[in-house]
Amino acid sequence: MIRPNIRAMTGYIPGEQPRENDVIKLNTNENPYPPAPGVVEAIQKALTADRLRKYPDPTGWRFREAAARLHRVPPENILIGNGSDDLLTMITRAAVPEGGLVVAPTPSYLLYRTLAEIQGARFETARFENDWNLPASWPPDHAHAVFLANPNSPSGTLLPISTLSAVAQQSAALVTIDEAYVDFATHDALSLVQHENVIVTRSLSKSYSLAGIRFGYAIGNGALIGELFKVKDSYNCDALSLVAATAALEDQAHFQNNRRLILASRGRLEVKLRQLGFDVTPSQANFVWCRHKSVEAKLIYESLKKRGILVRYMNYQDWPDGLRISVGSDLELDRLFDELEKLI
């Protein structure tokens, strides 16, 4: 009953979401601060029997207008998604034929492989250089889709615009720049959507504190967005998430304030980890990638877990293992530092 490529795949495994409430979660890069107050108000206002009875706007026009104002592009250049993962799915569906080729550097976001496998496509990775730059003569010219998380996960590193621009120019593939973490970085790649093969994806899960509602959007040229629109589920974003996402984007003061808090705490986290003997990759995201000079990453992960602190342990085939630690609130980081001091 099931296609062979589906039977052969493992499926994407998301970070743990413990059912207990007293765990300090530093494993899936959620924002420790609440979303803008207008978000909860907008949901409460929209929560009427009549609103629930009717289908939501399939195009998400109100949201697209808000995003268009923020990014100074036409609303036609915005595509709504049920989380940015939904947009990555649409991109793969539209761009990659069965037996086609999806490429991404490694280590990076593991979902890209899963999407290729679902599509019945091949997936090829190329190892990052040791300084997290792209390997030379990449991507291969027969690829159909190129995925670049920028900032990258788990490294938190950011590729320069010149590198991304060269990829877009050299490749005939649809190049997706996955900017789930870009709000914590020094620059974004929005200017590159002038290339007709470039699309940028954004998420409200991290920088807008809305992982619970599932909302993301893509920015690209109008023709490309129009094609992707054809493969999206008709009502992929529900009525409540649409008003929530719109309210979130419209409160830029709240957003900037939370962003500043996280950047300050990220600095504190990097300094402390180095004092404790970790090698820390300088981060442009809301997490840091690190490994201790003498204590094994897996052991640190397990010991922290026993003490109620979850971080992400990552073990890749072609890269040294390490810990990806989300930037929590200052109180959460204090607890983390206490436990690490005891442990190391």
Ligand X SMILES: *Cc1c(COP(=O)(O)O)cnc(C)c1O
Q: Which residues bind ligand X (CB under 6 A)?
A: 83-85, 109, 149, 153, 178, 180, 203, 205, 211, 216
Q: CB-wise, 179 or 270, nearer to ligand X?
A: 179
Helix (H, G, I), strand (E, B) or coil at 32: coil
Q: CB-wise, 91 or 340, nearer to ligand X?
A: 91
CA torsion, ordered 334, 36, 72, 74, to nearest 10 deg: 130
Beta sheet of 278-281, edge-to-edge order:
24-26, 309-314, 322-326, 287-292, 278-281
The tokens for 167 are 């990829």
Q: Compute the least distance from the CB of residue 34 to ligand X, in Å.
A: 17
Q: How far is it, in rounded angstroms, from Cα 277 to Cα 290?
A: 10
Q: CB-wise, 77 or 203, nearer to ligand X?
A: 203
Strand partners, 92: none
Q: CB-wise, 208 or 301, nearer to ligand X?
A: 208
Question: Measuring CA to CA, which residue among 138, 143, 51, 161 is closest to residue 100?
Answer: 143
68 burial type by CB count under 10 A (0-12 exposed, 13-18 middle, 19+ buried):
middle
Q: Compute the least distance from the CB of residue 295 to ligand X, in Å.
A: 26
Decide if 95 contacts 145 (C-beta within 8 A): yes
Q: CB-wise, 149 or 262, nearer to ligand X?
A: 149
Q: Compute the least distance from the CB of residue 203 to ligand X, in Å.
A: 3
DSSP string, 101-154: EEEEEESS-THHHHHHHHHT-EEEEEEPPTTSPPPTT-S-TT-SEEEEESS-TT
Q: Which residue is nearest to ligand X (CB)?
A: 83
Q: CB-wise, 150 or 171, nearer to ligand X?
A: 150
Q: Compute the least distance from the CB of residue 202 to ligand X, in Å.
A: 8
Q: Compute the least distance from the CB of residue 301 to ligand X, in Å.
A: 19
Q: How far is it, in rounded angstroms, from Cα 203 to Cα 218?
A: 9
Strand partners, 172: none
Q: Compute the least distance from the CB of residue 114 to ligand X, in Å.
A: 12
Q: CB-wise, 157 or 205, nearer to ligand X?
A: 205
Q: Compute the least distance from the CB of residue 82 to ligand X, in Å.
A: 8
